[in-house]
Chain A
Amino acid sequence: MIDRQLFLYINWPMLAVIFLLFSAGVLNLYSASAFRVGDGTALTSFYNRQIIWGGISLTAMIVVMAFDYRHLKTGSWTVYGLSLVFLVAVIFWGKSIYGAQRWLDLGFFSFQPSEVAKIGVLLMAAAFLAKIAPPLGLKDLLKTLLVALVPAFLIARQPDLGSALLLVFLVAGMVIYHGIRKNVFKGLVVTVPLLLPAGWFFLKDYQKTRLLTFLNPGQDPLGSGYHVIQSQIAIGSGGFWGKGFMEGTQSQLRFLPEKHTDFAFSVFGEEWGFFGAIILLFLFCLFLYQIFICSREAKDRFGSLLCVGVFFYFFWQILINMGMVLGLMPVVGIPLPFISYGGTSLLVNFIMIGLVLNVSMRRFMFKG
């Protein structure tokens, strides 16, 4: 199984960055879920659960690292196919939470098929693109995008617009990285903006409200705008040095909604200030840079594309979540990796990292 040699090639800096990010996340969760007042005690178990999920995820990561990623090139069809099956299944047997049917209950364990789909799409797109020499023509481009669009459509109707968009962006990022023909690129530049207004009609009312609110947050300061306004107050009031660990008045006194999940970064920003937030931002960039390095060092096109896929997987999440929390983007329910609470999300993150480490540690293993 694992060659002892391989152990030497594990990307330790990457692991160090992840450890720091994960710790920051747990610490932040501890603060966000420990209330000094009110009846919030029910939330205090979140950081415990996050640690347990951390252990599970770490194990999963090691498992993913263990076998040679090149087997995934053929296995990608299986994972992709399976995730489509799950996505269809969730339509019929899914559990409904907050009006969205996203969960599949397997009795002992329930999970979100959309998370599995992220892995499936990533593998599938990497495998698919690896076979085509860049730059892509229109036909190949559409085929690759279709890999994302089929599950994205199923996810969007759950509804989970955030995850659906993430899939599309993920593949789009990979495609751009891989290279597109100039003419095709020019064509896209013209047509995509034209398609956007059409997309408006597919949005649910609350999604339209969110977009409009983003454009004019003062319009409904107590409805959709509330999150964003309170989030900016939390972060802004942190000032340069922050209010201190567990001292955030905005978050501790529950003005901030969803502070353990999507708006976890607001808590961090309030308590650690500009100083802490910049360090966290820097860690994220370092993390992305590490993935980038891995993609550069991969031995084959498939491995490199896998890393690029993972890069975009994280990149979009960081961009969208921080953008939302900082009031630069509309509110879309996408968590911040390692910082937001969420077992499945953590598991998938670590699996993704496992993939990268897998590629990275095998960078010297075989020739050309």
Chain B
Amino acid sequence: MSLFKGNSHFHERFGPYFLLFLIVSLFCVFSIRLWYLQVYRGEYFSQKAQDNLQRRQPIYAPRGLFLDRNGELLAVNEPSYSLALIREDCPDIPSTLDQISKWTGIPSEEIHGEFQRGRSMVRSFENQIIVSNLTFDTLTRVETEAPHWPGVKVVVQPRRKYLQGEILSHVLGYVARANEEELKADPDLRLGDNVGKQGLEFTLERILRGSRGLRRMEVDASGRVLHQEVLVKPQSGQNVQLSIDLGMQSKAYELMQGRSGSVVVLEADTGQILAMVSAPGYDNNKFVFGLSHARWQELLNNPHHPLQNRSIQSTYPPGSVFKLVMAGMAHMDPDIRESDRVFCPGSFRLGNRVFRCWKGHGWVDMTKSLVESCDVYYYQLGDRLGVDRISEFAIKSGFGRLTGIDLPHERAGLIPTREWKRQRFNEGWRGGDNLNLSIGQGFTLVTPLQTARFVAALINDGHLYKPSLLLGEDQVDPLPLPWSKAARDFVYQTMIETVEGERGTARRLRKPGVVVGGKTGTAQVVRLLPEHMEDDVEAVEYWLRHHGWMAGFAHAGDQKYAIVALVEHGGSGSAAAGPVVRGMIDYIFDETQEKGQ
């Protein structure tokens, strides 16, 4: 019986075709869809089904430790507890978040906000860390309550602990929770991870972090773990041994107590940093724990800027320390002899301006000009040498350029040039600028580390090393100091004379049995009258006082150290920074010698 000719009396023209059409369409559409899902994309969905079954959870790798050059621990890891949420296991996320807020005392909106921020970054069946650094109280509360709240988990992560806090804060920096940009930029980072933000923690992030391991767990839909295995073992981060000597570092910090400034001690022959202090410091542990907004504001608004690494980020006029550069240059000039003398009446006239010296020195030769720090000698020298030669020589001597230290945010300082002044002020270079440049004032700005590196180069055959914080780091291709050996020897001897000589400005560094050389500097904050400069420091308002420099070296036997101290608003270099360098020399040659022998 044919379908449409049968003995039915009621077939309409359209109806039966309509039903047949529906049957055929049903079959076609669904079979195509089934083919698409099961055959064409079967692999993809198989993988998805596997992912459903197998949760992968990170095994945190401990961060590499920091040790000082003697193996003393500086930064370690301790367990910290975080509260995590697995969205897929959580039947009612909003009320769970409210509950978390009750446990932790963190406002509900903050918890919800944190959850929303993080949810796109963590897959639904992985731990999404909501609150880090649980306090002990919160932890016990959560541990007892969590079983009643599916999806809530306590996760143990290693957390950084800095054993020296303020003393090493500017060198080590700190780790803190990775922010959104960092998470985006680095696929290895996961929400809730800590990442180096400052100091060596930042620059050595790759080495320190290690790589997380992976644990595979088979779970059922309610998150019960059926089986687990370690897929990838975590790799601890590498330990890093610093060139820092904790004893020297602590001593330097101690000497800087109550002052702002910087102390740098370099091993001259290697460029290794033995101590690098910026005072005041800050407690880097607080950052790891999560700094409150109020505490952060307090740090930012502190007039002494504890977050500033003064050794590499603050730039100061070098003052008379710059005369070392000038003297070296003059010594190499064939037209200038050591014995050439200049008369210093206490001031120098250029055109109709008078430039002062801090005292009248009478007849001054090259040696005396350094030892007694006569400005007039250098005014004349500057006038004669000219800005172009001076700035080129100074830059080649390591000033006004980055040292390349392994720390973030280093600043180059400034050695002014004609070109620079034109661009900066739209003005030509003037004679007076020459004079200011020659005594390390005016536009010239240097960092304590640059100064220390320069001093080291004077006593290590003229190598400007990249200052290194890592013990045993190979020093490749140091920059050559553009000085003749004779010039270096001259300045070297004169610096010793500055310490040993009766009229030397660095007499306080004198130490029997140790060869010590030095140069003081006073960096003017504002132009003050000469009578404010030496003895009357206390009378001047703090913020108007000069910065005091002392750039020195000390050696006995094989050990050669460049030691530089800068004390902000300390008055003259001799009075303010001298004792700090002296303290370091005492420490190095008394205490360490005793220890070592």
Answer yes or no: B31 CB below 8 A from chain A CBs: yes
Contacts of B53 in A (CB 8 A): 249, 253
- Determine if B353 is an interface residue (Cβ-Cβ < 8 Å): no
A236 touches B46 (CB 8 A): yes
Q: Which residues of A contact B48 (CB under 8 A)?
A: 233, 236-237
Which A residues, 65 to 93, have Cβ-Cβ distances below 8 Å to chain B?
Answer: none
Query: Binary interface profile of A, 197-226, with partner B (CB < 8 Å = 1, else 0)?
Result: 000000000000000000000000110000
Q: Which residues of B contact A308 (CB under 8 A)?
A: 15, 19
Q: Which residues of A contact B35 (CB under 8 A)?
A: 274
Question: What 1/0 mask marks residues of chain B from 81 to 122 whose CB sits below 8 Å from any chain A CB?
Answer: 000000110000000000000000000000000000000000
Q: Tell which of B22-30, B357-365, B381-389 binds the partner.
A: B22-30
Interface size of A by CB at 8 A reads 56
Given A239-B39, A254-B221, A328-B33, A179:B15 Cβ within 8 A: yes
**In whole angstroms, what is the CA distance A236 to B8 when docked?**
43
The one of A238, A255, A292, A318 that contacts B42, using a Cβ cutoff of 8 Å: A238
B222 touches A38 (CB 8 A): yes
B529 at the interface (CB under 8 A from A): no
A289 touches B37 (CB 8 A): no
Q: Which of A229-249 contact B (CB under 8 A)?
A: 230, 232-240, 249
With A221-B124, A298-B8, A368-B9 already in contact, the answer to whether A292 and B14 are too (CB < 8 A) is: no
User: Cβ of A297: which chain B residues have Cβ within 8 Å of it?
Assistant: 6-8
- Measured in the bound complex, the distance between the Cα atoms of B3 and A233 in whole Å is 41
**When each residue 31-73 of chain B gets 1 if its CB lies under 8 Å from chain A and 0 otherwise, what string results?**
1011101110110111011001100000000000000000000
Closest chain-A Cβ to B531's Cβ sits at a distance in Å of 77
Given A221-B124, A253-B221, A255-B221, also A298-B10 (CB < 8 A):
yes
Determine if A43 is an interface residue (Cβ-Cβ < 8 Å). Answer: no
> Are B45 and A235 in contact, with the CB atoms below 8 A?
yes
Q: Which of B438-460 contact A (CB under 8 A)?
A: none
Tell whether A326 is near chain B: CB-to-CB under 8 Å: yes
B12 within 8 A of A: yes
**Would you call B15 and A178 a contact (CB within 8 A)?**
yes
B20: CB under 8 A from chain A? Answer: yes
Given A179-B15, A298-B10, A326-B34, are A222 and B39 also a contact pair (CB < 8 Å)?
no
Q: How far is the CB of B223 from chain A (nearest CB, A)?
A: 11
Query: Is A349 an interface residue when CB atoms closer than 8 A count as contact?
Result: no
Count of interface residues, chain B, beta-carbon cutoff 8 Å: 46
**B12 is contacted by which of A177, A255, A278, A282 (Cβ under 8 Å)?**
A177
Which B354-392 residues sit within 8 Å CB-CB of chain A? none
On whether the beta carbons of A233 and B39 are closer than 8 Å, the reply is no
Smallest beta-carbon distance B152→chain A, Å: 16
Q: Interface of chain A, helix or strand or loop or mixed? A: helix
For B44, the chain A residues whose CB sits under 8 A away are 236
Q: Which of A222, A250, A273, A326 contacts B52 (CB 8 A)?
A: A250
Given known A-B contacts A222-B87, A253-B221, A274-B35, A285 and B10 have beta carbons under 8 A apart: no
Q: Do A273 and B38 touch (CB < 8 A)?
A: yes
Partner of A237, one of B11, B34, B42: B42
The smallest beta-carbon distance between A287 and chain B, in angstroms, is: 10
Chain B neighbourhood of A239, CB < 8 A = 38-39, 42, 46
For the complex, is B224 an interface residue (Cβ under 8 Å from A)? yes
Q: CB-CB contacts of B502-533 with A at 8 A, as 1s and 0s?
A: 00000000000000000000000000000000
| Partner of A292 from B16, B46, B87 at Cβ < 8 Å | B16
Give every chain B residue within 8 A of A328 (Cβ-Cβ): 29, 33
> What's the least CB distance linking A61 to chain B, in Å?
22
Q: A178-B12, A254-B220 are in contact. Are A238 and B30 (CB under 8 A)?
A: no
In the complex the two chains form, is A250's CB within 8 Å of B15's CB? no
> Quick one: which of B18, B23, B45, B222 contacts A289, CB cutoff 8 A?
B23
Q: How far is the CB of B386 from chain A (nearest CB, A)?
A: 70
Tell me whether B539 is interfacial, beta carbon within 8 Å. Answer: no
Alpha-carbon distance between A63 and B42 when the two chains are bound, in angstroms: 46
B38: chain A residues at CB < 8 Å are 235-236, 238-240, 269, 273-274, 277
A165 close to B (CB within 8 Å): no
A318 — nearest CB in chain B belongs to which residue?
B26
Nearest CB of A to B46, in Å: 5
For residues 286 through 334 of chain A, which have their beta carbon under 8 Å from a beta carbon of chain B? 288-289, 292-293, 295-301, 304, 308, 311, 315, 318-319, 322-323, 326-328
CA–CA, A368 to B9, complex, Å? 8
A188 adjacent to chain B (CB < 8 Å) = no
In the bound complex, how far is the Cα of B34 from the Cα of A269, in angstroms?
A: 9
* A55 CB–B CB distance under 8 Å: no
**B209-254 interface (Cβ within 8 A of A):** 220-222, 224, 226
Q: Cβ of B3: which chain A residues have Cβ within 8 Å of it? A: 293, 296
With a CB–CB cut-off of 8 A, which chain B residues contact A230?
Answer: 52
Residues of chain B lying within 8 A (CB to CB) of residue A278: 31, 34
B15 touches A274 (CB 8 A): no
Closest 9 CB pairs of A and B: A236-B45, A254-B221, A237-B49, A274-B38, A239-B42, A177-B15, A236-B37, A237-B45, A237-B46
Binding site for A on B (CB under 8 A): 3-4, 6-12, 14-16, 18-20, 22-24, 26-27, 29-31, 33-35, 37-39, 41-42, 44-46, 48-49, 52-53, 87-88, 124, 220-222, 224, 226
A to B CB contacts below 8 Å, 11 in the list? A221-B124, A222-B124, A235-B37, A249-B53, A285-B26, A288-B22, A295-B19, A296-B11, A297-B7, A315-B23, A326-B34
The residues of A with any CB-CB pair to B shorter than 8 Å are 37-38, 134, 176-179, 221-222, 230, 232-240, 249-250, 253-255, 269, 273-274, 277-278, 281-282, 284-285, 288-289, 292-293, 295-301, 304, 308, 311, 315, 318-319, 322-323, 326-328, 368
